[in-house]
Amino acid sequence: MATKKDKDKKDISKHKNKNMIFGNFVIYIITIFEEIFKFGKADADRITQSSGLPTRLHQQLRKLGEKYGEKAVDAEFIAEEFGITTKEAKKIEKESLQDFFDVYGFIPKGNQKSFKPKKK
C-alpha cells in the first residue's frame, strides 16, 4: 500500500488520465482528404507495435480509415514533449487549437464537442 511519502514522489503512472501525472506526450493533427480534422494529444510511451504510433493516435486513425479509407487519413506530430504533466500537455493542445481558430476562424470537426475557443 502506498504511503504519504510515496505519494510525494514524482507521480508516474501507467495511464496519464490525472492532470498531475508526469509523462511523455505527442500533440498531433489528423487530416482527412488533406483537410484538418482534429488536434489531439497522446501518451508517447504507449506505442502500438504494428504501426509504431502512440496507441491513442493509432486507434483514431484505424477507426477513421475504416470510415473514409486508409489512404484518405493521415497524421503528423506538431509537438513532442517529454517529462511534462498531463495538464501541461492539455494546455499545449488547447493553445494549438486556439492558434488554429484565430487564423482560420473555425474549429476542426473532431474537436467541436470538446473545445471552446476564446473569441477576440
Cell readout for 6 is 510515496
How does residue 119 score in pLDDT terms, banded at 50, 70 and 90?
Answer: confident
Is the pLDDT reported for residue 31 higher than 50? Answer: yes
- The answer, as to whether pTM is greater than 0.75, is yes
How far is the C-alpha of 1 from the C-alpha of 7, rounded, in Å?
Answer: 11
The rounded percent of the chain whose pLDDT value lies above 70 is 87
- pLDDT (tens digit, 9 = 90+) per residue, 65-115? 999 999 999 999 999 999 999 999 999 999 999 999 999 999 999 999 999
How far is the C-alpha of 2 from the C-alpha of 84, rounded, in Å?
Answer: 23
The dihedral region occupied by 67, where left means phi > 0, alpha psi between -120 and 50, and beta the remainder, is: alpha
42 near 89, Cβ under 8 Å? no
